[in-house]
Amino acid sequence: MDSKYDVKEVTWLHPASDPLMKMFNGYRCTLAVIPACELKMFDKIAAHPEGISAARLAEQHSWSSSYTARLLDAQASFGLLKKTLGPDNIGIYHITESGKYMVSDFEGSFDGIFTLFSKVFLKSYSLIPELIKTGDEGDKAHWVLPELQINGSADKQCPQDQSHCTENKKPEGYQAKADKIRCAGQFAGQKPGENERRMYQIMVAQMYPYTDEIIHAFDLSRFKTVVDIGGGQGYLSFALSRGYPDMKITVMDMPHVIKFVREEFRPHDFDKLNVTYLEGDCLKDPIPVASLYIFCKVLHHFTEEKIEYVISKLHEKLPSGGAVLILEDTLSPTRDGPPPSHCFDLMLMARKVGKDRTFPEFASTLERCGFTKIKCILTNPECIYDVIMAIKD
């Protein structure tokens, strides 16, 4: 550091408390990104590839210039913006490669994750102490959060409301209540469908950086017919179709989901892809014949009985050499890591909509369904997709 003063930089390490400080600081950084997302600051900065000063940005939007500068400086400290010095030492802000992930129309945008974190995830974790104290195993799933009052799209069913709660029998009066309460992530003043769009965008954001690795984790070139069960917005199917042009892929999901996603998530190259949609509940409706069945982030919503039921059915249908591919965020066999998987498992617990499992748990379920060749690729903790493949003899 160039200074007229005697400045020395030191690093003081305290192995016992450093992990706690890292957790605490990570949490604070997350909270400090949220206001920038809500103000769509990353979109606004990205619209100025030449860079923009806090004063000009503030002027364009009638914001406070000094507060804007402080919020932008924080984003620069997180590596989401780069700050250079312009004439008169005025800070000029540019979007960074990481910051591009915060721009709302970027394909793998994280913008929705941070916004949802502030409104819904925090609330979910706050339900846990009461759950632990009462041991309430009731059948009321908490994708519906009472504080999120309906406003506008009461008649629209949200995907979580129906499908993510397949583990739970809906209580008496549930439908009537659904007229008054919106499901998680839907907020006052929000346009209809925004909640669904955001939830499926979050799934895209989490897969986007790893798409290539995921579709090539195993060589899938021999599978010519594929059903992506609970395929949601179809992002994985589209990527598979681009990576394996001979593959004929069906995205199967609940009817209300398919109706929504086929409009909202249609990629620009859809006509060139070998992907079709199918409305159906995999626990009730016929599943088309295929050589590969995929469950990507679906089985954590199901009980063992439901997993065993549907996978046994698929085992019967598969030809020899056919397979089931499961993408899930697995817990370590000793169930003490990795931390992000536990965070997700606790959110499922808080809402009573399922649970995360270990690879050995998945493997023994797959064995009970008749599979003998079971492989697994465990990925780094930041990637929520471990890849399990079970092949029929």
Ligand X SMILES: C[S@@+](CC[C@H](N)C(=O)[O-])C[C@H]1O[C@@H](n2cnc3c(N)ncnc32)[C@H](O)[C@@H]1O
Provide the annotated active-site residues.
Answer: 300
- Judged by CB under 6 A, which of 57, 72, 296, 331 binds ligand X? 296
297 sits near ligand X (criterion: CB under 6 A) = yes
Q: Does the protein bind ligand X through residue 249 (CB under 6 A)?
A: no
Report if residue 345 touches ligand X, rule: CB under 6 A. no
Mark the segment that binds ligand X (CB under 6 A) among 126-134, 212-220, 278-286, 313-321: 278-286
In this structure, the dihedral spanned by the alpha carbons of residues 331, 334, 340 and 345, taken in order and rounded to 10 degrees, is 60
Choice between 166 and 168, CB closer to ligand X: 166
C-beta closer to ligand X: residue 103 or 196: 196
CA distance 389 to 378: 12
Residues 33 and 78 sit within 8 Å (Cβ to Cβ): yes
* Nearer to ligand X (CB atom), residue 298 or residue 326: 298
Strands (E), the chain: 52-53, 81-85, 91-95, 144-149, 181-183, 225-229, 248-253, 275-279, 292-296, 323-328, 373-377, 386-391
In the complex, the smallest distance separating the C-beta of residue 253 from ligand X, rounded to whole angstroms, is 5
b/e 61-81 (16+ beta carbons within 10 angstroms → b): eebeeeebbebbebbbebebb
Residue 157 as a binder of ligand X (CB under 6 A): the answer is no
Q: Which two tokens stand for residue 279?
A: 């409305």
**DSSP output for 238-261:** HHHHHH-TT-EEEEEE-HHHHHHH
What's the CA gap between 130 and 332, in Å, rounded?
A: 27
Amino acid identity at 313: K
**Helix/strand number for the chain, H first, E second:** 16, 12
Contact (Cβ atoms closer than 8 angstroms) between residue 146 and residue 180: no
Asked if 231 is part of the footprint of ligand X (rule: CB under 6 A), the reply reads yes
Burial-class residue 178 by CB neighbours within 10 Å (0-12, 13-18, 19+).
buried
Counting contacts by CB under 6 A, is residue 198 touching ligand X? no
The answer to whether 281 contacts ligand X (rule: CB under 6 A) is yes
Residue 386 lies near ligand X (rule: CB under 6 A): no
| Interaction between residue 47 and ligand X (CB under 6 A) | no
Q: Least CB distance from residue 257 to ligand X, whole Å?
A: 4
In terms of CB distance, is 203 or 346 closer to ligand X?
Answer: 203
Which positions from 164 through 193 interact with ligand X, judged by CB under 6 A?
A: 166
Per CB under 6 A, does 257 bind ligand X?
yes
In angstroms, give the least distance from the CB of 37 to ligand X: 21
Q: Please give the structure tokens belonging to residue 13.
A: 């390490």
- Which residue number, 163 or 330, has a Cβ lying nearer to ligand X? 163
Which tokens belong to 164?
A: 């993510």
> Does 301 contact ligand X by CB under 6 A?
yes
Interface pick for ligand X out of 81, 273, 298, 366 (rule CB under 6 A): 298
> Which one of 32, 34, 131, 203 is in contact with ligand X (CB under 6 A)?
203
Considering the rule CB under 6 A, would residue 253 count as an interface residue with ligand X? yes
Q: Residues in contact with ligand X, total (CB under 6 A)?
A: 21
Torsion angle in degrees (nearest 10) through CA of 166, 167, 173, 177: -70
Q: Is residue 282 within the footprint of ligand X (CB under 6 A)?
A: yes
The residues that touch ligand X, with contacts defined as CB under 6 A, are 159, 163, 166, 203, 229-233, 235-236, 253-254, 257, 281-283, 296-298, 301
